[in-house]
Amino acid sequence: MVDKYAVIGNPIAHSKSPLIHRAFAAQTGDDISYEAILAPLDGFEATVRELIAQGYKGANVTVPFKFEAFHLCDSLSTRAKTAGAGAVNTLVNINGSIHGDNTDGVGLRNDIEQNLDFEIANKHILILGAGGAAHGILNSLIGASSITIANRTYERALELVMALRNCEAKASTFEALERPYDLIINATSAGLSDTVLPIPNIIFGENCLAYDMMYGRETPFMKQAREAGAQVADGLGMLVEQAAEAFQIWRGVRPNTLPVIAMLSTLIGKY
């Protein structure tokens, strides 16, 4: 029988996860189905219970349910426990018991280190944003020389710094940034509305990698970074890498991500 998987979110129609996982399965020869499921905003738990009743082996969780998923799990991986405020993006059905993991951080790290060939160790890192996306990636930045979290609302950056359990970071406003960084990760959702962040050009250090967790188009952050001479990347690689990690958890086999990233880049189009 085909093993069933899904991604649960709201909205979900835009999700590339079915494409990605079906491409992985075609590559590894795994006999799976993978679909996108829209859960009502107040119906995440009911949706998960229904999928378990139907024998689904696992699911990915996306906006806005990652925090709720954390609380629903019967057991959690260490990295899910240490991910900021407690967020889960991968569920595994173990005989009706729900195990939760978070593959966002490792997905980002693998994209940066393996695909973009940029070492995180000993680098000065700046994270822009202190919401869910920032929470999910901080546990993957172990080994950095320093981490600074800058946010529009300073108090949220401060809260995130205090909540960190396995690394140390400093909080800042955008306006107070005044030194160069080696790696800058835009984890704000400002790009969705084409908002220009009030960040000075000095933050783009020599050989700086500017990474936007969004994908599909050039955000004002990416444009500014490009014009300031930084190497620029979007979040498409991270999307595929976090999926590969989930696929490995479920199937015990690691798919090759590069052809899937290439396929999606073509599909989405260059900008």
Q: Is 170 a catalytic residue?
A: no
The site string for ligand ATR over 118-137 (x = CB under 6 A, - otherwise) reads -----------xxxxx----
Q: Identify whether the C-beta of residue 157 lies closer than 8 Å to the C-beta of residue 149.
A: yes
Question: What distance in Å separates the CA atoms of residue 267 and residue 23, rounded to the nearest whole number?
Answer: 13
Provide the minimum distance between the beta carbon of 92 and ligand ATR in the complex, in angstroms, as a whole number.
23
**Site for ligand ATR contains 195 (CB under 6 A):** yes
Compute CA distances 58 → 64, 89, 116, 119, 232, whole Å: 18, 11, 29, 32, 34
Provide the minimum distance between the beta carbon of 129 and ligand ATR in the complex, in angstroms, as a whole number.
4
- For 205-252, the DSSP string reads EEEEEEEES--SS--HHHHHHHHTT-EEE-THHHHHHHHHHHHHHHHS
Looking at the Cβ atoms of 133 and 208, the one nearer to ligand ATR is 133
**Site for ligand ATR contains 16 (CB under 6 A):** no
Q: b or e along 127-154 (b: 16 or more beta carbons within 10 Å of the residue's beta carbon)?
A: bbbbbbbbbbbbbbbeebebbbbbbbeb
Looking at the Cβ atoms of 10 and 195, the one nearer to ligand ATR is 195
* Given 16, 66, 223, 270, the catalytic residue: 66
**Site for ligand ATR contains 158 (CB under 6 A):** no
**Site for ligand ATR contains 200 (CB under 6 A):** no
If binding means CB under 6 A, how many residues of this protein chain bind ligand ATR?
Answer: 16
Residue nearest to ligand ATR (CB): 131
Provide the minimum distance between the beta carbon of 82 and ligand ATR in the complex, in angstroms, as a whole number.
18
Looking at the Cβ atoms of 91 and 160, the one nearer to ligand ATR is 160
Question: What distance in Å separates the CA atoms of residue 235 and residue 240, rounded to the nearest whole number?
Answer: 9
| Nearest residue to 126 via CA among 172, 175, 189 | 172
**Site for ligand ATR contains 85 (CB under 6 A):** no
Applying CB under 6 A, the span of 40-48, 73-81, 184-192, 220-228 interacting with ligand ATR comes to: 184-192
Residue listed under structure tokens 């029988």? 1
Looking at the Cβ atoms of 86 and 132, the one nearer to ligand ATR is 132
Question: What distance in Å separates the CA atoms of residue 44 and residue 68, rounded to the nearest whole number?
Answer: 8
Q: Which residues have a catalytic role annotated?
A: 66
Residues binding ligand ATR (CB under 6 A):
63, 129-133, 151-153, 156, 188-190, 193, 195, 197
